[in-house]
């Protein structure tokens, strides 16, 4: 990394957020991290320091506007500026649309969509003042192409993409960048949380997998060379192309290889 970046990451107490924080710490970045579990966050902060980065851990809930404002203000106060906001916090629930309770749908929207909006919004005000910045939204490959029994989750991931694409067009030509990351199934605590939130054991679907470090490396590259779309698993972009050309055929493919009914 040529210059020391100041990066804020939501949902960094585990998984992709934690891996990204540690990856950037190895380049000496200043990394502000947030999540709800303060104890886990403190452990990640210690790992960041041990890896060569400068940590700032702030316990925060992405669904609360005041928390996101304080998270960004805290990072700017400590490090003097903010270069990148990684909107990463999120979770999943599996099930057919009629099996998902309205309260579950609302909670998914609150964390995955509204949490992204609030974190990006708080950072944008700083980016506009500075005249530069980079919003990175961690969506999912199911934010490009829905798969069976993930409709509620996929809807929130599509919503993130819509928000990011509009913002990207608004800031085009400026020194504010917007990237969307589309991971495939990634080895994190995501599936444990999904089982807990769904209320029944949720097995992984058939399909490509990757580790969190692979996604973190892709995010680190995007910070160095901002690109609109980041596919940490190279071949996953062919699903997007196939869906654009032949959505009906893609329906049959994702039905055959995707998640099966869980109840």
113: annotated active-site residue = no
Residue closer to ligand NAP by CB (options 130, 213) is 213
- Of 20, 27, 140, 179, the one binding ligand NAP (CB under 6 A) is 140
Residue carrying structure tokens 């029944």: 200
Q: What is the DSSP string of 157-208?
A: HHHHHHHHHHHHHHHTTSSEEEEEE---EEESTHHHHHHHHHSS--PPPSS-
CB within 8 A of 183, min separation 6: which ones?
16, 138, 140, 141, 210, 215, 232, 233
Q: Which residue is nearest to ligand NAP (CB)?
A: 15
Binding mask 2-31 for ligand NAP (x = CB under 6 A): --------xxxxxxxx--------------
Q: Per CB under 6 A, does 61 bind ligand NAP?
A: yes
| Tokens linked to 128 | 């506009």
Active-site position among 113, 117, 149, 153:
153
Question: What's CA 122's distance to the chain center, in Å?
Answer: 16
Q: Least distance in Å: CB of 15 to ligand NAP? A: 2
Residue 47 CA to residue 40 CA, distance in Å, equals 11
What φ, ψ does residue 30 adopt, rounded to 5°?
-90, 125
Q: How do beta strands 6-10 and 84-87 pair?
A: parallel
- Among 55-63, 94-102, 172-180, 217-225, the segment contacting ligand NAP (CB under 6 A): 55-63
- The reply to whether 40 sits near ligand NAP by the rule CB under 6 A is yes
37 binds ligand NAP (CB under 6 A): yes
Minimum distance, C-beta of residue 253 to ligand NAP, in the bound complex (Å): 19
Residues involved in catalysis: 153
Instruction: Catalog residues that contact ligand NAP under the rule CB under 6 A.
Output: 10-17, 35-37, 40, 61-63, 88-91, 111, 115, 138, 140, 183, 185-186, 188-190, 193
């Amino acid at each position: 990394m040529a210059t020391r970046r100041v990066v804020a990451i939501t949902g960094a107490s585990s998984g992709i957020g934690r891996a990204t924080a540690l990856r950037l710490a190895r380049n000496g970045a200043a990394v502000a991290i947030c999540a709800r579990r303060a104890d886990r966050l403190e452990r990640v902060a210690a790992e960041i320091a041990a890896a060569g980065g400068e940590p700032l851990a702030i316990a925060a809930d992405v669904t609360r506007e005041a928390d996101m404002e304080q998270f960004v203000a805290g990072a700017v106060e400590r490090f003097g500026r903010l270069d990148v906001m990684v909107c990463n916090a999120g979770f999943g629930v599996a099930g057919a649309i009629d099996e998902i309770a309205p309260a579950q749908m609302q909670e998914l929207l609150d964390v995955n969509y509204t949490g992204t909006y609030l974190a990006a919004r708080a950072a944008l005000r700083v980016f506009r003042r500075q005249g530069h910045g980079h919003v990175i939204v961690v969506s999912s490959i199911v934010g490009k192409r829905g798969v069976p029994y993930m409709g509620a989750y996929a809807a929130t991931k599509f919503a993130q993409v819509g928000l990011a694409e509009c913002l990207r067009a608004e800031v085009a030509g400026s020194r504010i960048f917007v990237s969307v990351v589309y991971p495939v199934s990634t080895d994190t605590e995501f599936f444990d949380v999904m089982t807990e939130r769904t209320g029944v054991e949720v097995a992984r679907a058939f399909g490509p997998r990757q580790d969190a470090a692979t996604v973190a490396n892709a995010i680190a590259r995007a910070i160095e060379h901002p690109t609109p779309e980041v596919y940490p698993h190279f071949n996953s972009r062919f699903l997007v192309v196939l869906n654009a050309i032949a959505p009906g055929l893609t329906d049959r493919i994702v039905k055959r290889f995707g998640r099966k009914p869980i109840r």
